[in-house]
Structure 1
Amino acid sequence: MTESNRMLTALIQLRSALQEVPLPLDLPDADAQRTARTEMIDQLEDYMIPRLTTIDAPLLAVVGGSTGAGKSTLVNSMVGQQVTQAGLLRPTTMSPVLVHHPDDGHWFGQDRILPDFTRTTKATNAPYTIQLVPSANVPRGLAIVDAPDVDSVEERNRNLSAQLLAAADLWLFVTSAARYADQVPWEFLKQAADRNAAVAVVLDRTPAEAVETVATHLARMMASRGLKDSPLFIVHEGPIGESGLLPPANVADIRGWLQSLAADSEARAAVVRQTLNGAIRSVSERAYAVANAAQEQESSVTALREEVESAYAAATAAVHESTADGTLLRGEVLARWQEFVGTGELLRSLEAQVGRIRDRLVNAVKGKPQQAQRVQVAVEAGLETLLVEHAEHAAEQAAASWRSTAQGKALLAADDVDLTRASREFRRKAEQAVREWQQGVFEMVRTEGADKRGTARFLAFGVNGLGVSLMVVAFAHTGGLAGAEAGIAGGSAVLGQKLLEAVFGDQAVRSLTQRARDDLERRVGELLDVEKARYLTRVDALGVAAGGPERVRSAARRVTDERFAHQQRHGGGHSA
């Protein structure tokens, strides 16, 4: 792979890495780094990557500057014909005009410099459209772009001007005697100096009596801001002819300089290399600040995600515990269970004569299908209440955690859905899940007792009776009860287990209980995962991918390594 191809690959990888870190959260410094990231991606796509692939393309000189500095008139005068609109109405230039020699037209196709801009040959104000104007008055090897004002009243024009200047091989920065000290143009010139871009400054529309004073002061300002080696051209104020052009003598110096630059392939290539190398160095250095901002975003997103995961994990654990430690064997469930098995008498029998409990159970539950159904209904209601209670609590906890940070608040306020409560459809889904679990329990009993359905005991208990007994046993699975509860709920569970063992035997009951528990836990997990997803989808929608910051740093290091490797081999500072 050639040096140029290695650098091109490194730049493409850096662009991709930057695209993967959108910085969506409004953290400190995020806004500035979002702007920097967009600028770098634009410059990589508009200038560095296309320029590196077409290193022999004409030098692109972008004419930019202050409002009313006379850029369009200057461009027309340098070319020697009307190629761009000039006038008193501001802003005048709203879509860029690129003037080139007719033989150089192939260099400016859609896949070349500024690839995202639509090409047209007609005057237009359409956004992101560039007008291509062939003119034999422009020397081969040079193209001139008339850009919007850097301080335009239109934000779109300001952004467009910055994007075009970032895509220039040469900045022709135009100001006037009245505007040369304005802050906005100097912010752009500082960027040019920082990037070591090739710059020429044009002091336009300067009255003869002000030339010496203004030019001297402007030269000092340029020197103090790192532009002492940049040429300064003076365009005297003069009458504009009927053709809309300045007198040729007024633009002779700058026009001659551009023509000589176009005619000297080595000088032209030196300008391209200077600006390209400066842009590559700048983007590789600035990428680290974006990576650091992306790291903060990733940490914040991880914290937001962990807070939600923690709230719903606690809710899931609490439901699992409450459905296994006998908590549900209280109140309505316990009352209905006692009606079904005659708990009072059987408990006394259980304490005195464990050996004969099976026979007594058969007699106790004969002909009680209605009571079994009441147990089923009570279990259903108890489970639904438990699920809703913990889903509400998890939502409250997750929302409270998010409210403690500005980014969490922003996510909570992002739409009209109230995340502080369980979803509106949760109760309905909980009811359905509980019913499906109960049907699953009955099916397990039916399947397990397939070869026992003709026995007296199976017929006495029935599928519903055995099913609710299995539910009761599952609800005391951990044996975590203490005190009086252990005597009532625990005893009830033992009765249920004895009843099941009377039909299926010890080992089968253990297997059925575990399967019922596993199925319940699975359904609870799925229910709460859907609730949790309401939060996590908002986090996912931010597009903060894990590992993004390190990919940016790695890509930036590779660009830097290629630069230094080239310098070591060639003893210079050029990248291309």
Structure 2
Amino acid sequence: MASSDPGVQELLTATQDLLAAVRTAPLRLQTPRLEHARAIQREVTDQLSDFVIPRLTQLDAPMLVVVGGSTGAGKSTLVNSIVGRHVSDTGVLRPTTRTPVLVHHPDDAAWFASNRVLPDLKRTGENPHEVYALRQVSSPTIPAGLAILDAPDIDSIDVGNRELAEQLLAAADLWLFVTSAARYADHVPWDYLRRAAERSASVAVVLDRTPADAVEDVRRHLARMMTARGLSDSPLFTVRESSVNRRGMLPFDEVGQIVLWLQELAADVVGRRTIVAATLHGAIRHDVFRSRDLADEIEEQAEAAEALVHDVDTIYRRAVEEVASAATDGTVLRGEVLARWQAFVGTGEVLRRLEQTVGSWRDRVAARAVRQVDPQTVGSAIGQGLHLLLVEQAERAAEETARAWESEPAGRALLDEHRGLDRASRELAARAERLAREWQEFVQGLVAEEGEGKKARATAVSTGVNATGIALMVAVFAGTGGITGAEVGIAGGTAVVAQKLLQAVFGDQAVRDLADRAAADLSARFEALFAEEADRFRRLVPEPKSVRAAQRDLRKVANRADVVRLATDIRRPTIQQEGV
């Protein structure tokens, strides 16, 4: 039953929001500290989903006692002896506990079978052989209101076992930590116990397999170590080294103290709630701190995303500028395009007759254009020139971006994962060809539109809409910035011819407007084409602004959860419990 306490409900909502923010933390880029950040993410996610949220959902649910410890400490034998029946495998082969075993009273089966507790762990029923899953066992020898879980070894040679042990210990209301006289001073157990103290987790320690003549000395030393590490209030039980009976159980004299303590704990509603509250508060505080750590780690992701996106934007913006410059500085009018245009209008002839009347000049140009060369051949050359320019610049931009990314760990990882980014996309050639064709159609449409309903219409038709459109394209491309030497005069003459032809047909102002519209449309098409090419890189990188936003949101919800935790008292049992 969910608590009706408004404070508890508010705390539940706050921790659910924290879980959502942690789970969705943007950790996509291969940065130097990525694995560390993901470890924090798993740690917080596991504890919130396995323990904090299920416990806040039902504070009065049975208490989960997780038995953890080092390899060979005798955990499974101890669990079997406490339960009074064989529920967990024992033996000399390591690791012994591959499938964690949860033993509970039959009346509590529904709670532990639900996905509210350890939701990510598959339940195996009575199957003892399925690894990394949870096997549930009902036993009337376990008091109602309490369950015991035998976890894998914390120092197992199996990485999966170690990770599962950490997950289970983080989901415990109470740790029953088992060590031995031979292993109690080892680093690994004390690293776990230190972390338990940092989280204010409730812990009881069992000193197992202790020779009778060493009990006092070892127990005294262990107690001092516990005090020095903030565990002075934790119960300490001693189990002497003993032979097991034919059922593999330790003598009751050795485990009876633990059995009685667990029974008393199950019967003590107030004491049990106090233990749960202390562990819960400590877990939430720890998760808040670690969430803040995770938010700090996201800074590296944000900086990496900003650097990668900056590389893409800078290089492709420069590519667009270079294409636009090449398209208006005469570069496109070189080679085949220039030769076709000269053949089309007969530049030398026209230049010699520029001082003739405009009407006479226009008629001569129109007649010569019609009789010498089909304007389609000039348009085809222009299309090919544009196509070549776009492909060359797209290839160069892809290569430069790949080189820039290669200098960053995140970029190198993306390049390794997505081969071929250092070349333009496969579709680029077809898109460039379509761009040139559609722009030429746009220009021809401008010419036809401008000639509609004007006196110039008859002239445009006599000259040919296609021919006039070609002249407008040349006017857009004309200039001397990219041509040197003898070509300067040729290009200049080429520009003059196109300009005079258009002025004769439409007039000065109309020509300027037409050229501006044609150039603006061409520039927009360049930008769209290169934006698509840049998107091949951009879509692999999280949007830097969204990474920053996620970082801010994580800090915000973490701070909110901490404020609500400090304001909420969850130690007091419910009224129904107090009457039990």
Give the TM-score, by structure 2 length.
Answer: 0.91
Q: Percent identity?
A: 51
Q: What is the one-letter code of the residue matched to 1:177?
A: A
CA distance in 2, matches of 1:46, 1:567: 21
Residue 209 in 1 paired to residue 213 in 2? yes
Counting only pairs closer than 5 Å after superposition, residues 53-452 of structure 1 correspond to structure 2 as 53-350=57-354, 357-370=361-374, 372-415=375-418, 417-449=419-451
SS at match of 1:133: strand
Counterpart position of 2:540? 538
Measured after TM superposition, the shift of residue 480 of structure 1 is: 9.8
Say if 1:22 and 1:34, in contact at 8 Å, map to a contact too: no
- Distance 1:342-1:478 versus aligned 2 partners, 3 A rule: closer
SS at match of 2:209: strand
- Distance 1:220-1:330 versus aligned 2 partners, 3 A rule: same
Counterpart position of 1:560? 562
Measured after TM superposition, the shift of residue 509 of structure 1 is: 3.6
Structure 1 residues 263-272 or 472-481, which shifts more?
472-481
CA distance in 2, matches of 1:381, 1:470: 17
Structure 1 residues 323-332 or 394-403, which shifts more?
323-332
Measured after TM superposition, the shift of residue 311 of structure 1 is: 0.4
Say if 2:47 and 2:167, in contact at 8 Å, map to a contact too: yes
How many residues in Structure 1 have an aligned counterpart in Structure 2? 568
SS at match of 2:568: helix
Counterpart position of 1:573? none
Measured after TM superposition, the shift of residue 330 of structure 1 is: 2.9
Structure 1 vs Structure 2 CA RMSD: 2.8
Structure 1 residues 302-311 or 482-491, which shifts more?
482-491
Structure 1 residues 491-500 or 263-272, which shifts more?
491-500
CA distance in 2, matches of 1:543, 1:153: 42
CA distance in 2, matches of 1:186, 1:7: 31
SS at match of 2:547: coil
Counterpart position of 2:469? 467
Say if 2:331 and 2:482, in contact at 8 Å, map to a contact too: no
- Distance 1:274-1:294 versus aligned 2 partners, 3 A rule: same
Say if 2:102 and 2:135, in contact at 8 Å, map to a contact too: yes
Structure 1 residues 242-251 or 423-432, which shifts more?
423-432
Say if 1:324 and 1:478, in contact at 8 Å, map to a contact too: no
Superposed CA deviations along residues 373-399 of structure 1, whole A, max 9, x for unmatched, are: 332232122212211221122122212
CA distance in 2, matches of 1:478, 1:545: 47
Q: What is the one-letter code of the residue matched to 2:558?
A: A
Say if 1:64 and 1:150, in contact at 8 Å, map to a contact too: yes
Structure 1 residues 250-259 or 533-542, which shifts more?
533-542
SS at match of 1:3: helix
1:36 corresponds to which of 33, 40, 59: 40
Say if 2:391 and 2:428, in contact at 8 Å, map to a contact too: yes
Say if 2:106 and 2:140, in contact at 8 Å, map to a contact too: yes
SS at match of 2:65: strand
CA distance in 1, matches of 2:299, 2:148: 41
Say if 1:369 and 1:464, in contact at 8 Å, map to a contact too: no
Measured after TM superposition, the shift of residue 170 of structure 1 is: 0.3
Counterpart position of 2:31? 27
Q: What is the one-letter code of the residue matched to 1:500?
A: L
Structure 1 residues 315-324 or 501-510, which shifts more?
501-510
SS at match of 2:371: coil
Superposed CA deviations along residues 102-127 of structure 1, whole A, max 9, x for unmatched, are: 11222223232212222342124435
Say if 1:446 and 1:463, in contact at 8 Å, map to a contact too: yes
Say if 1:22 and 1:543, in contact at 8 Å, map to a contact too: no
Say if 1:70 and 1:204, in contact at 8 Å, map to a contact too: yes
- Distance 1:16-1:431 versus aligned 2 partners, 3 A rule: same
